[in-house]
Each structure stands twice: as structure tokens, then as C-alpha cells.
Structure 1
Amino acid sequence: MTKKSKSIIHSVGLSSVLAGVIAFGGIAAAFGETVPTGVEIKEFSLLDTARDVVGAADFTPEGNKDGHFKLLLNLANKTTIKSVVLRSTDDYGKDNYQGVWRTNRVTTGWLLGIVQDKTVVTPSGTTHISEIINPGFRKDVKEPVGEFAGNLTFDLYASNNGTIKETQSYVLEIETPEGTVVSKPIKYNKPMTSGGTSSTPSPTSTPSPSPTPVPTTPTPSPTPIPSPNPSSPPVPAPAQGPTIHVWLLGQELQFEDAKPIIKDGSTLVPFRKLFEALGFSVTWIDNGTTQRAIGTKDGLTIELTMNSATAKVNGKDVSLSIPAQIIDNHTMVPLRFVAENSGYQVTYASDGTTATIRIDEPEDTSSTPEPTPVPVPAPIPDFPKETAEPYVAKGYVRDMQGHPLSDIVVYADNTLLYDSNIIGVTDENGHYEIELPQLATSWSMSADITKSFNGKKYKFHLEPENEVPLTGSKGGVRNFTWTDFNGQIYIYPFFTSSNDSMPEFDLSDLEVTLTPVGPLLDGSTGQTIIKRGGPVIGGGGIDGIPIGKYKATARWMPEGYAPIPLQISDGGVYSNSVEFEFREPNGVNTSKYLSELEVKIP
């Protein structure tokens, strides 16, 4: 590390006495990794969330309180630390994709700021200094964090993205050239306790990235919250947020069977009550594998498939910020999506304990034209009829518009013998036919499709509409429809300053508009997509985006404020909009095709 990449801050006295820590002598290796010798995580804990020290991308306060972690590390020999990653997990250490913080910028994550506590001998005695080790993301993932040896004390700061809370567990990974060390999962406990007794942390200096040594005054940690009286039962925290009142055209809707809830920043309400109140005729379809809720009125049809991130409006796919789902045996659907796609305006207000949602006609009905129903697409024709033949697997492969797909590789996988398959290829009519050997076995069918788009190749795996393996002696017909070519987008907030007049940034308040630039990967025209941010596999952003080239714009929409247009970037210069495409992921956080965007938060 060069001198320019360090900042030194003098502090009086020792940094925080560890409290509420989980101490352990053993270390765990990441799956498939070699445990490096002489590297031991002695203690790892989450101390508090009382200070704002780092931002999402650099060592600058941003307006969000940080998670303050403590790490005691023993290195028997001089060791290069290549990277450090903090992950949110369940209690057993399994990733739950709620937050990732890291020292090196690879795929997704927020900055993990590292401060080392060092003992310094001066003519006047022994003192301690806090040295900032990681003042910002190392964008070159090959640049190490540094070289260290001995017994080390580090303070780790992770900008709170909304997931640093008492119910959350965390795991720390330390990568060295010899392998990776992984801590046991820890949990944020409040009040801080060690060995069953209450303990108050000693004052901790708050690091500030200054190019020269700057004296600081110790900042006391907050007083622990007293433990409840053991004889008094704890009061359960509200499980579903504020009480929700929904008003439709000036009249409050009454939900008798199930109450509205807020989940992942979206309001879910009972399907039948909302659809019927909006004047729809409702249909429920359950074929044993999928369940669909359908509402129809005046040439408008809205179809929601349970747990699917894509809905249909007059037969056209529309992305959802949260899927319809069954909760406690009640079918719950996203209120805003249904109401706005029915031509209404939705407003939301909350005082923290009560939320009021109003569904009204558009503000200027005299000048706003009635929404034109999207033309209902022509139904996809049925597959050509085929008859099964002994020891023959055959069928068709097509896209969502019913067009045949040629040159698709189809596999017949022998379920009796390991790694034994027969390959066929579709003709210009999308038809394939594979002769099977006369063996007493069954065959599982699958297919792969590879498409080129703007000089890149994208590969997708297809399963047949009938996934049951076919018996060789009877043969079978297995048809394939290519329905999914979606990618996902990681979104990183970049905070330009600390503005006390603005609320804390939450990714669910970020609205991203994606406008296709030319045809999509499958050759279709595509449509404008408007989605809010939230958790996705491996980090935060939006998913369910059909692969293509898009122009992206972004707005910050915190509750109680007018929408704030944001500048956006794909890693280059910030501007009011940016065009981007998808690529293969370069990490292990997701297997989906990926793009990454940054938004500048004022």
C-alpha cells in the first residue's frame, strides 16, 4: 500500500473493549478452499450501529449509520490479505443475499471500511493510533488489502443498507494466497453482553480520512438498553409493519379474511377483494403445479401467477417488483401494480404506525385520455400433433411467439447409466427426432439454446413442458418453449454528501426506468420497464429483465418528497441516462447474466 492510500488518526486510549463478542479458536474454510496455516480469527463481533463513518463506495459519511464490527486476527507469519468480505447470512452461515460488503470491487457490494488499531511508543509514553487501511473500493480486484503479521485489532465499518439489524447474522471471509478463512456466524445482540453479563464498550475513536494525523476526541458508545425484567413477558414487535387503510374512490375497503401487509417495500392485499372492488370478474386456476389469479373487465385482463416476477396485462408480459403469493393460505397480490394497470392513481402516506393508501382517478381526467387497452396478442398455436413411437424421442422447440427454433441441441439423458446421453438437433421447423437404443431404461429430456446478440453469445437451458422422463420401450413426445431469457442488474448508490434534510436512502425508494434500444435478444420489440430496487440474488438491484440493450434513467422517491431525478452511470461518467447491455457474471454471487449501474444520491 502506498503512503497516499493511508490516513492516520491519533486517538487517546485504547479503542473499544470488546463486548458482545463470540470468541472461537477454530476457523472454517470456504467450500472447496484450503485452510491457510497460521491464520486465526480469534474474535469477530458486531459492536453497534451508532456512527456514520463510511459511505457506500468510500470512507466518507453518507447519512446512514454504519455497522461497526470488531475483528481480532492472529497471523503467525507475514501474510498478504487479498480481500475481506462481510456477508449477511442465516444463523447457520448460509447466504441470504440481504447484504454484501467488501474491500475489492467485484460484482456487487458496498464498501467494507477497515481501520487498524496500532500501539505506538512515543517519548511521552505509549498511545494508540487508528490507521485507515481501506479508504475506498479497490477497483482492481488483484490489488491486495495489505501485508500483515502478529496479533491484530481491526474495526470494520459497513454502511447500513437496511439489513444491519438485531435479527441478522453475519459471516466474515478473509482471502489469502494460500486459501480463505471464514468466521462462524455472529449475531447483533443488544444490550451487548459477554459471558452473560452486561458490558459497556469503552470509548472508540471515530476515524476520519484525513491525509495528516488529526487528534480526535473519543466518542462514547451509546448506553446499552436495559434488559427486560425476566418475570415480565416481552412485548412482541409488530410482524407486518404499520396498520394499513386502503381507500378506493373515497370509500375505505374492508378486508375481513386477511389484512393488507407490507413486504419488501410493497403492499400486498387479498386478491379477490381488490379485483372485485375494481370491477373485475375473477378466476382462479390451479393445475397442480402453478396457480394463477385472473381478473377481467371491459377488454382488460390482468393475470398473476403465484411466485412469478412476471405478470400478464392483456397477454403481454409485465415485470413485477414483488410477485403475487400465498401467505397463510390467502392469495395476496401487489396493490399498486393491479390498481395502476387498471388506470387508477395510487398514493401512499405513513406516520410510522398507520399507512393510508388511496386509489383514485387520475388527477386531470378531463385532459388525460382513457388508457388504451393493449391489443390482445394472437394465441400461440398448439404444437403439431405427434404420436409416440417405441425407442424414439421427438418433439418441437419454439419461442414464446410460437416461432420454430432451429439448430437447438436436445439431450436424451439415460437415467440408468451415469453421464450417458444422446444428442439431437432441431431442423428448420423446430423439430427433432432421436433414436434410442433398445435398453430397459427411461430417458430425461432437456435442451440448450445459444443466441448471439450484439457480438455476445448467451446460452440458456430449457426443460420440456412435460418433465416426466419417457420410457424407452414406449418412446415419447417432449416439446420445449423458450420462455426465460432474463438477466439482473446490481445497483450501487454513490453518496455525494451528507444532507440532514433528506431521509436515509433505501433501495426500495429507487425507481429505475428501462427503455429498450432496438430489439431484444429473442428479436421481439420489448417494452419499457419501470421497477423499484430491492434484494436480488447476490446483492441489491432489480431482476427479471429480458436481455437486450436498454437506456436507463433513475428517480429517488422517498416517502413525503417529490420524485428526485438521479444521475446514473454504468461505471463511467454520470449523466441523466445511460445505455447498457448484459454480460456473464464475473463472480460467484449469481449465475444470471448481469449488468451493474451506479446512481448518484444528492
Structure 2
Amino acid sequence: MNVRLLAVALLVLTGCSKDPALLDGGEDTNWGDQPALPIVNGEVTFTLNAADDHVSVMGTTTPRMPNFPELTKKPGVVRGYVADLSGTPLEGASIGIRSTAVGGAYSGASDETDAKGYYEIAIPWGATEFYAAGYTIDYGEGRAVMSLAASDGKLGSFPSTDGLVKNFVLLSYGVFNKDLLSQKPWDQTNYAGGCLYITYNVSDPLSSFNPPTYIPENAEIEVTLTPDGPGLYGENKRFVIRKKASLSNYGFTIMNVPVGRYTLSAKVKDGPALHMEAVGRYASLHPYFGLRPTEATGSAKLLFTPDSQAGALQTLPGRGNWGLLQIKVKRPE
């Protein structure tokens, strides 16, 4: 074999022996050891006073993040990884950025993650921000698009020339942005978990119109969410919410429930089961999500309802994509 043929053979062998765990730039994509998943089980009870109108059942915390492979910044490029909470790379997640220059014209670019959970986007010139970060999961008998959380909790704008490394995580519950949460703790889109709104009529002792289906003033409405098996990351926690009925408000929001399947039950504390009915915008929006059946007394199955099914590339980053399913409760006739 002459020298030229030997050199060609060595180049071919070198190309064939490329480490599949390396990116084209030679960086290691080995995810390594991951921390154990948070344990979410047991039962917790919340008692809301007459003036209380919302509760986050998982509080204001966010689960610990997985360990990501290290990446260095590339000028003019935004790149990173997308993973679930266990540190498993997610293929097919959509990440979108847009840049604006003087005059307000936008230029956008996007990418989908590969089998390593990796994405890389050349940044259009200007001041840049993320406009989309979504991932579609199998949920019940359907498919639901979920928003992705920035692993460092930051989603501000950045200059296009510097480049950026930004990793994203699929959460089943948790706070996306604590600054926004401090301004609007009642806004369900500040949380990754599912949500629902319980509404009702209250008897008014000063009114002559008090149907027997109305909830007596000062009675306690008791709503229970019981998991029908493990959630997205094995969550298996039961939530009991008790709310004192009052003429000062006619409903309350239950937010940040770990994504999964539930049985929803409602009753007057120490009293009869209540009739439940899905009402409002999301009542019949999807054939597979929401309350099933849409009317029931005592208990029914519940799957949270996506706010938008437009696709992962139309899903805002770090902002909950679960619609506020409205359920009206009343005493049986």
C-alpha cells in the first residue's frame, strides 16, 4: 500500500470510530449520574377561609433540576439541551427564538431537539428572546402540549452576537418564574402543574330567591383530587381542599397539581355529595380532556385541559399551558 492510500485508510478509520457521545465540536454529551426523582406522595389538606380564592397545592417550590452535559457559548448561536426531570433527553422538543432590530422588525428561527436532546439555532441579528419552548406528551387518550421551563429560571432577552447556552426541562409541577409569581400568585400560568376552578352559588339569607341547590353560607365545600395511578414522574399525592362558602366570592382556583390522571370528588363537609358540571370555555373544547362525564354527582374522572393545541412551536416558554377548567358544584335537586 502506498503512502497516499494508507493516509486515506487512516482517515476513513478515524471517521468511523467517532465517539457517538460527542457533538460535532467534540463536546461530551454524556448525561452522567442523575439525582433521584422527588418523592411526591401521601395526602395534604388545605383550608381556605371565606376571602381566599386560590391555592397552589405544591406550594411555591420547583423540583431540583437534572444534570446537563456542559456546553460552551458559541458567538451568534443559541444552543442547549432539553430533558425531563429524570435527566432523560427529549427528542422532538421545539425551541424558537426571535430577534428585533431598530424599527421593530422581527426575525425568527427555530429548531427541534435531536435524539440527544440537543438543539442549536443560528441567532438572527438584534436583541433576542425565546418565543417558544414546548413538548408534546401522550396524555390519557390524547396528546397535550406542555411548556418547557428554563433550567436556570431565566428567560430574559440577550444580544445576538454573544451567543447563549440555555437548557430546558419538562416539569409536572413547580414555579416557572418567582418574580412573576410574587406579582400574580393567583395566575395559574405561573405554574407548571394542572389547574381547575370551582364555582358555586351561595344562599343569601336576605334574598327571597334561594334555590335548594345553592350552597348554604358558611358551609365548607370539600374537594378531593385522588390520583388514578402515578403521575408524569411517579407523583401519587392526594389533595383535599376545603373552602368556606361566602357571599363575598363564588369560586376558588386549585393550581399547580402534578400532571396526571385524577378522580375529582366534591361534597359539603360532613354533608351530602355535590353535583359537578364542567362549564365555560373548556367544558367541551377537547374530546379526551376535562371532566368525564361532564356532569356527575359525587365524583368523576379528571384530565387537565391544554389551553392550546396549536403545537409545541406555538407554546410560550416558562408559562403554563393548562387551561383553567371551570367546574360548577351545587347541592343535588
- The TM-score with structure 2 as length reference comes to 0.54
Cα 1:510–1:402 shift into 2, 3 Å: farther
Cα 1:388–1:556 shift into 2, 3 Å: same
Aligned to 1:526: 236
| Partner-residue secondary structure (3-state), 2:264 | strand
**What pairs up with 1:24-423 in 2 under 5 angstroms?**
264-265=49-50, 309-310=55-56, 318-319=57-58, 380-416=65-101, 418-423=105-110
| Partner-residue secondary structure (3-state), 2:162 | coil
Q: Is the 8 A contact 1:449 1:462 kept in 2?
A: yes
Counterpart amino acid of 2:271? I
| Partner-residue secondary structure (3-state), 1:528 | strand
Aligned residues with identical type, % of pairs: 22
Work out the number of aligned pairs and report it: 223
Cα 1:425–1:585 shift into 2, 3 Å: closer
Q: Is the 8 A contact 2:305 2:323 kept in 1?
A: no
Cα 1:574–1:435 shift into 2, 3 Å: closer
Shift of 1:532: 2.9
| Partner-residue secondary structure (3-state), 1:382 | coil
Aligned to 1:569: 276
For residues 521-552 of structure 1, give each alpha carbon's deviation from its aligned partner in whole angstroms, at most 9, with x where no partner exists. Answer: x35343211123489xx962432134433112
Aligned to 1:516: 227
Say whether 1:428 aligns with 2:111.
no
Shift of 1:489: 3.1
In 1, the alpha carbon distance for the partners of 2:197 and 2:303 equals: 10
Picking from 432, 456, 461, the partner of 2:147 is 461
Shift of 1:601: 6.0
Aligned to 1:580: 302
Aligned to 1:543: 254
Say whether 1:452 aligns with 2:138.
yes
In 2, the alpha carbon distance for the partners of 1:591 and 1:486 equals: 6
Larger Rg: 1
For residues 462-481 of structure 1, give each alpha carbon's deviation from its aligned partner in whole angstroms, at most 9, with x where no partner exists. Answer: 45333232322221111222
Q: Is the 8 A contact 2:263 2:302 kept in 1?
A: yes
In 2, the alpha carbon distance for the partners of 1:585 and 1:601 equals: 30
In 2, the alpha carbon distance for the partners of 1:402 and 1:506 equals: 47
Say whether 1:488 aligns with 2:196.
yes
Which one has the bigger strand percentage?
A: 1
Gap regions ≥5 residues in structure 1: 1-261, 268-307, 311-317, 325-376, 558-562
Q: Is the 8 A contact 1:396 1:426 kept in 2?
A: yes
Counterpart amino acid of 1:566? A
Say whether 1:472 aligns with 2:180.
no
Aligned to 1:76: none
In 2, the alpha carbon distance for the partners of 1:468 and 1:503 equals: 46
Shift of 1:486: 1.7
In 2, the alpha carbon distance for the partners of 1:532 and 1:263 equals: 6
For residues 417-466 of structure 1, give each alpha carbon's deviation from its aligned partner in whole angstroms, at most 9, with x where no partner exists. Answer: 534210011122322111235x3x23212412232312333233345333
Q: Is the 8 A contact 1:568 1:578 kept in 2?
A: no
Shift of 1:397: 1.8
Shift of 1:319: 3.5
For residues 554-582 of structure 1, give each alpha carbon's deviation from its aligned partner in whole angstroms, at most 9, with x where no partner exists. Answer: 2323xxxxx22424434666443222323
Cα 1:412–1:497 shift into 2, 3 Å: closer
For residues 309-336 of structure 1, give each alpha carbon's deviation from its aligned partner in whole angstroms, at most 9, with x where no partner exists. Answer: 54xxxxxxx435xx79xxxxxxxxxxxx
For residues 388-432 of structure 1, give each alpha carbon's deviation from its aligned partner in whole angstroms, at most 9, with x where no partner exists. Answer: 011110112223343332211101211325342100111223221
Aligned to 1:553: 265
| Partner-residue secondary structure (3-state), 2:145 | strand
In 1, the alpha carbon distance for the partners of 2:66 and 2:323 equals: 30
Shift of 1:505: 3.0
Q: Is the 8 A contact 1:566 1:599 kept in 2?
A: no
- The TM-score with structure 1 as length reference comes to 0.32
In 1, the alpha carbon distance for the partners of 2:97 and 2:227 equals: 37
Shift of 1:595: 4.9
Q: Is the 8 A contact 1:513 1:530 kept in 2?
A: yes
Which one has the bigger helix percentage?
A: 2
Please provide the CA RMSD for this pair.
4.1
Q: Is the 8 A contact 1:570 1:578 kept in 2?
A: no
Q: Is the 8 A contact 1:319 1:529 kept in 2?
A: no
Cα 1:494–1:424 shift into 2, 3 Å: same
